[in-house]
Structure 1
Amino acid sequence: MTTTNFFLVKIKKALRVLGPGLVTGASDDDPSGIATYSQAGAGFGYATLWTSLLTFPLMAAIQGMCARIGIVTQAGLTVTLKNHYPKAVLYTMLLFSFPAITFNIGADIQGMGAVAHMLVPSIPVSVFSITITGILIFIIIKYPYQKLALILRWLCLSLLLYFIVPFMVNQNWAAVLKNTFLPSIQFNKEFISILVAILGTTISPYLFFWQATMEAEDMAHKKRKVVVNKRILDNMKTDVNFGMLFSNLVMFFIILTTGTVLFNGGIKQIDTVEQAAKALEPLAGKLTYLIFAIGVLGTGMIAIPVLAGSQSYMLAETFGWKEGLDKKFNEAKGFYITIIISLLIGLSLDGIGISPIQALIYTAILYGLTSPILIVIILHIGNNKKIMGEFTNSKLSNILGIITFLLMAFAAIALIYFQFKK
């Protein structure tokens, strides 16, 4: 076998195992996430590039635990919480997660509508937002899980656009490498706030629930009953690690693009994703602006079904409703009605006076409060032999999980402190 054929075989093998991990990682780079990374690049140039190296192993560890829980228990994280922990824990997670996810959906829909309006100014933002919501509802209800998963995987290609943009403008690669591998921290409110925002955007509770549920769904869709073994778990690790690496590379390139173009161009205040896209045009050219804007639409089409789906699975699993993206509408009405309602409420947020920025702030606070608690619970489940049998956490997973908990706890405290500090 030639070297070329060897690598082609390896690539084909890797592509075959990509699934929930890739989609989860791609959904993490949603329009609201892109807005956060754009704020980091515009506000601080290359100074936060190193965060992508920090968040990758932490994301991979936590999502890997959630994936293993889904595979071993063959149930979603909500079911595991319901069966093995006090009901108060589950209901508290629901109480904080539902408004957070809804605000996130609203911010993403509004961001996509605003970006689409920039591309076609003759059509109002509201028309685009309504149309996008309608298309998403149709796709989610119309297509069964396997087809929806395939659609989401293909939409992941839209994120490759962000790998192109930094090479379309002049770069100081020495400065890029320095800021990537030599972390620097500015001890002021603005810099700490953006670090907290990056952590909250990359390590989000809804991803925990989605990852576990999708792994369980994948196991359920096997043609025959499958016994969990090392090969299945190795494939899962490949999928999750690739998905989280992909997610963090996208974050890196967005910070790099906005740091190069906007920060160096004197534009240091970006509040929304459409502002970031619009600011690129006069400084980097129309093609760069178009690529950035189209990428926002692609990421939104991935993220919103994941957000709405994770929320609906949580509710259905809590109350024992029939659920699953593989079921038809009339077979799981409560499940699909929850998805529709969450999208419609998200769509209506702007109409009731909640702007995308406010929605993101509320989302960050609620995610910040729930993430540390959920991480502790996931660590406990992952080490519980009664639940996980022989597939408990490795020592490395536990170390990374504890580091993630400590950082997220710090982020939650810092976030609340900065919200109330005058």
Structure 2
Amino acid sequence: MSKQRQETSSPNTAGRRSGRAARIGNAIITGAADDDPSAIGTYASAGAQFGLGILWIAPLLLPMMYVVVYISAKLGQVSGKGLFGVIRDRYPRMVLYPLVVGAFAGNIIEAAANLGGVGAALNLLVPLPITVFVVCVGAIIVSVQVFGSYFLLRRIFKWLTLALFAYVAAAAMAKPDLMEVLHATVFPRVEFTTEFMSIVVACIGTSLSAYVYTWQSNQEVEDEIALGRKELFQRKGATDEELSDKRRDVLTGMVFANIILYSIILSTGVTLHPAGETHIETAAQAAAALEPFAGEGAKYLFALGVVGVGFLAIPVMTTGAAYDLLQAFGKKASLHAKPADAKLFYGVIAAVTLIAVILNFLGFSPMRALVWSGIVQGFSVPPLLLMMLLMTGDRRVMGERRNGWLTNFLGWATTTVTFLALIALAVTWFL
């Protein structure tokens, strides 16, 4: 396998090397885009509700975010298949189908919440009903995916995600007590209440969202196809250089994503929480945390950031749902396929987007829906993460590229923490 991979990939080696610096540089933007509207709403709610007392969750999540994205990428690189394609090969249908139902439903709910979040952000700028924006954004995204290219969409909107770095400046300009910030970051303060555990689970769920697993593993496959490796035997395996590049790329991206996460909690924790605005119900409240930096322009910065990450993340969720469903039933799914040759794939993407749009007409608060979608994702994280750890530790799937001790340690620790957080939340519900 190793020899075949080297022979197949050698014509592209120069291209990979020339693009390596660009990939690492783009990891900053990729990391910012990982903080989708659901994440922004969840982290802002965490800071507003619990102040600086929940800052410790950012450093806790960093290694968890890294290991989840890395093993997802590694699985796709080495197996040559997407996540649910590998699960279908290795496990019985009684394991496969419940997992795909959970992931599929989670993707739809998250996409619906993110559409509502984008609509709420645009409503700050233009006073039209949020549902009008939801319909328009959904139509634009589907049109680009089917008739254009998601990668074109990514090039257009990825720079808008840099508006999220305004939270870093806002956190600094709010002049928090540095010793209090340091203490809250290093020493966890935990409240055994439903409200607190709900926010913890939501933060875990939105930072380790299941759609990330599907997307990351499948994008490794899509990248291989783009290099001309259309057959499975051509895609299998990964060189030391490729895995090393991927580790560095993922770590860089997740560090920057974590900086945004930390800054959102910090800025809302020192502006909204002391002012008594502990429950964020509107986009205007979430944008208010940027006022120390942007003043009256806070709503514009907030809207730019949310719209940017929304247009990046929503197609990931809807496409991820299509990947999950079709791979579970052994059907081909690829963004490189033309719509005429992949009617089922693009049809599922359109159907998922339509359902997500319709869910926004049920009357839920868009900002509150962002937090609840994180909680839903929190329940789907542990089983899928467990499956990925089992598969990336399986010689039959990974060959000599099984996880090392550090990856295994981080992976199993992440799985344990997510399970314990869910158990704690469930206990508070019953008590």
TM-score of the superposed pair, with normalisation by structure 2 = 0.86
- 1:155-194 per-residue CA deviation (whole Å, 9 max, x = no partner) reads 5434333333323433333322232233332344332332
Verify the 8 A CA contact 2:41 2:371 in the aligned structure 1. no
SS at match of 2:272: helix
- Identity among equivalent pairs (%): 36
The 3 A distance-change label for structure 1 pair 349 and 420 is farther
Equivalent position to 1:381, from 379, 391, 395 = 391
Give yes or no for the alignment of 1:329 onto 2:339: yes
Task: For structure 2, list consecutive stretches of 5 or more residues without a partner in the other structure.
Answer: 1-16
> What count of residue pairs does the alignment treat as equivalent?
410
Q: Distance in 1 between matches of 2:105 and 2:86?
A: 22
Q: Which moved more, 1:404-413 or 1:27-36?
A: 27-36
Give yes or no for the alignment of 1:232 onto 2:239: no
Structure 2: which amino acid aligns with 1:400? L
The 3 A distance-change label for structure 1 pair 110 and 94 is same
The 3 A distance-change label for structure 1 pair 145 and 72 is farther
Which runs of structure 2 are paired with 1:311-390 in the superposition (5 Å)?
311-356=321-366, 359-360=369-370, 363-364=373-374, 366-390=376-400
**Partner residue, 2:79:** 73
Q: Distance in 1 between matches of 2:414 and 2:140?
A: 36
Structure 1: which amino acid aligns with 2:50? F
**Partner residue, 1:172:** 177
Which runs of structure 2 are paired with 1:401-420 in the superposition (5 Å)?
401-419=411-429
- 1:323-380 per-residue CA deviation (whole Å, 9 max, x = no partner) reads 2112222121111111111111111113234554675576445433332111211111
Q: Distance in 1 between matches of 2:362 and 2:311?
A: 24
**Partner residue, 2:101:** 95
Structure 2: which amino acid aligns with 1:232? E
Q: Distance in 2 between matches of 1:362 and 1:417?
A: 18
Q: What is the CA distance between 1:244 and its match in structure 2?
A: 1.6
**Partner residue, 2:91:** 85
**Partner residue, 2:69:** 63
Q: Distance in 1 between matches of 2:202 and 2:193?
A: 14
Q: Distance in 1 between matches of 2:294 and 2:62?
A: 29
Q: What is the CA distance between 1:43 and its match in structure 2?
A: 1.2
**Partner residue, 2:145:** 140
Equivalent position to 1:16, from 23, 31, 40 = 23
Q: Distance in 1 between matches of 2:188 and 2:317?
A: 32
SS at match of 2:66: helix
**Partner residue, 1:116:** 122
- 1:95-131 per-residue CA deviation (whole Å, 9 max, x = no partner) reads 112222111111111111122111122x222222222
The 3 A distance-change label for structure 1 pair 346 and 274 is farther
Q: Distance in 2 between matches of 1:177 and 1:82?
A: 46
The 3 A distance-change label for structure 1 pair 273 and 406 is farther
Structure 2: which amino acid aligns with 1:286? E
Verify the 8 A CA contact 2:38 2:374 in the aligned structure 1. no
Task: For structure 1, list consecutive stretches of 5 or more residues without a partner in the other structure.
Answer: 1-9
Q: Distance in 1 between matches of 2:62 and 2:247?
A: 13
Which runs of structure 2 are paired with 1:212-223 in the superposition (5 Å)?
212-223=217-228
Verify the 8 A CA contact 2:37 2:309 in the aligned structure 1. yes
Give yes or no for the alignment of 1:270 onto 2:280: yes
Q: What is the CA distance between 1:39 and its match in structure 2?
A: 1.0
The 3 A distance-change label for structure 1 pair 365 and 52 is closer
Structure 2: which amino acid aligns with 1:115? A
The 3 A distance-change label for structure 1 pair 40 and 415 is same
**Partner residue, 1:251:** 261
**Partner residue, 2:197:** 192
Q: What is the CA distance between 1:12 and its match in structure 2?
A: 8.4
Q: Which moved more, 1:272-281 or 1:314-323?
A: 272-281
Structure 2: which amino acid aligns with 1:160? F
The 3 A distance-change label for structure 1 pair 31 and 305 is same
- 1:67-106 per-residue CA deviation (whole Å, 9 max, x = no partner) reads 1110001110010000111112111012112222111111
TM-score of the superposed pair, with normalisation by structure 1 = 0.88
Structure 2: which amino acid aligns with 1:44? F
RMSD over aligned CA atoms reads 2.8
Q: Which moved more, 1:123-132 or 1:22-31?
A: 22-31
Q: Distance in 1 between matches of 2:95 and 2:165?
A: 39
The 3 A distance-change label for structure 1 pair 150 and 234 is farther
The 3 A distance-change label for structure 1 pair 362 and 89 is farther
